[in-house]
Structure 1
């Protein structure tokens, strides 16, 4: 039985690797074509073809994380259908490979892909994506999001702060920092503007070229304004560099632990964390979808056909994989708009495909 398991695992690994390489090559081509529009826009010393190639290469782990469940499904379907077409799986069944043993064999394979998907999505992809963004920022100027940059909020004792960072620099600094301080009654206590800033090692921000306006409220008679200009100023805060990066970068590119900490920060400061909670639970459930995919592929080994190609079945696998990817995104957007439960929104696509795979397994495998 070990020989049969090793044979199935080897064939499936080869097929999944081949399919994954094909999809990554396709994404590499499309990304490179998209990046060519930036080449040469910042002069001879700016963003060049070599930088575009480096950016596209560093984007590969993110695509690998997104593609693995789909390529696992397509590759496993191809192997199972080919074994059924050549009657090899029939011989395996007569040799003692029953439905439950076949299911355990594929679940073991799926467990390997679960670990691989988690490792890529939690460790490799966040680092490579951050490096890719810094490469682009270094040669194109800066890294920002939207027209106003990143907004964050923090509470310190009876004071609350609204912080705006317009952009991040390639060396990890900040540009266009604005800090709005509010007192216990919600009145504006001070406004600080800094041309640039850096994250200090002791939980402070080192601001440069600072303009500060302090408002001394005097009952109903208005407020007295004091202005201060300084070449530098330190501001104590619990807002870290990772939190600012999280506001600028896409949440689906963050590690699971970073997402969890950022969600706690948003909840502690009374900010909406729905989008990031959904992304957190998606990071938790997404690797497990590899198990669902291998179960969905198993019934293809029990189909009876002796002539003709298996292209139709592989095409069906491609459509199933694409539909899972689309359903996963649709549920994410709908859950964010309709304020659905974050964990249920993230788990729903996997649950739906689990039901479909178990139904197919029960109908085509156990009842036949």
Structure 2
């Protein structure tokens, strides 16, 4: 006799296998496309062996796959449920008195767990790997410097603005930097205190700038020339990568500290907050995609036209992706609040998918 626990494990296993197969297919496609593109770009700048190029591609792929996770879950669950339909397993479950809500529960749990694990485990690893990819690609192409940059940091009582002619990522060095030190008054206004002009500024030790060949100017004081000056800083190498465009986003567990650092320095943290909310909403989005897959697959048994309905499910998946991209863009430009931009699509899709499944199941 088959117990409900055994049936639940079977459905969860089928769903996990379907998602795993979809993941392998999507990963293979993305890896192939990015490998060819990387060979055309990086391969033209350096003599890389196929194995070296494959290693670089492997560092980049996890971050690229992150955008396709909802599709992976959608197609994976659709494949699992469609296979169970073809073998009449869902029909037997219904005949045994199980409703769709009950036999879908294991698949929903699998989808939610994948969303949680991706946000908390895979995302940090993918962020580290893409950072390593950017560093290695810069070493290969020799593109280690950027144009003029501006940095800012500070606290409630002091602010610092840094302007530099160029940035050397590999050397953790600012070329021809100028440091403007300002005091923050009680009323929020800033007062200029002093200025440091240096030949270079290097992050030799985390938490400290080392300024070389420095000219110091302050109101009412004579100009001072110093060979070396050390200044404390909250800026890290990751901040320099971000300024150079070599960093996509911080890992999940560091987003809150990045938000605090940006706001303390007077910068907007809207994009970081949006990223945090989207990672928190990912499990709900994957659950919604599971409901979409169930609605499409279950209807195919009753109505026929399996291929047509599977294509419909794929179109719905792309529609979700398009809507999410548009709403996210509204959030990035402050048309919508951050929380609303991140949670609207998962909540709306979840509501519509449950309503559609309820109509199919209960009439």
TM-score, scaled to structure 2: 0.85
Q: Provide the residue aligned with 1:206 in structure 2.
A: 210
The question of 1:302 aligning with 2:298 is answered yes
**DSSP-derived class of the 1:325 partner:** helix
Match of 1:74 in 2: 75
Classify 1:321/1:179 alpha carbon distance in 2 versus 1 (closer, same or farther; 3 Å): farther
Partner of 1:35: 38
Residue 168 of structure 2 corresponds to residue 163 of structure 1: no
State the alpha-carbon separation in 2 of the partners of residues 263 and 292 from structure 1: 29
For residues 1-368 of structure 1, what are the structure 2 equivalents within 5 Å?
1-39=4-42, 41-42=44-45, 49-143=50-144, 147-149=147-149, 151-156=150-155, 158-164=157-163, 166-170=166-170, 173-176=172-175, 177-184=177-184, 185-187=190-192, 189-201=194-206, 203-207=207-211, 209-217=212-220, 226=223, 228=225, 230=227, 232-248=228-244, 253-305=249-301, 310-367=306-363
- Considering Cα pairs closer than 8 Å and 6+ residues apart, tell me whether 1 or 2 has the greater RCO: 1
User: Per-residue deviation at 1:354?
Assistant: 1.0
Q: Is the 8 A contact 1:78 1:310 kept in 2?
A: no
Deviations 1:80-139 (A, max 9, x none): 233334432111111232233123222222233123322444332112111111211222
Cα deviation code 1:147-193 (max 9, x no counterpart):
434x432225643211346435346x234344222345444730433
Does the 8 Å CA contact 2:152/2:159 hold for their aligned counterparts?
A: yes
Q: Give the conservation status (yes or no) of the 8 Å contact 2:238–2:247.
A: no
In angstroms, what is the RMSD of aligned CA positions? 2.9
Q: Distance in 2 between matches of 1:164 and 1:268?
A: 19
CA distance in structure 1 between the aligned counterparts of 2:361 and 2:248, rounded to whole angstroms:
37
What residue in structure 1 maps to residue 187 of structure 2?
Answer: none
Cα drift, residue 330 of structure 1: 1.7
Q: Mark the runs of 5 or more structure 2 residues left unpaired by the alignment.
A: 185-189
Between 173-182 and 62-71, report the one with greater CA deviation. 173-182
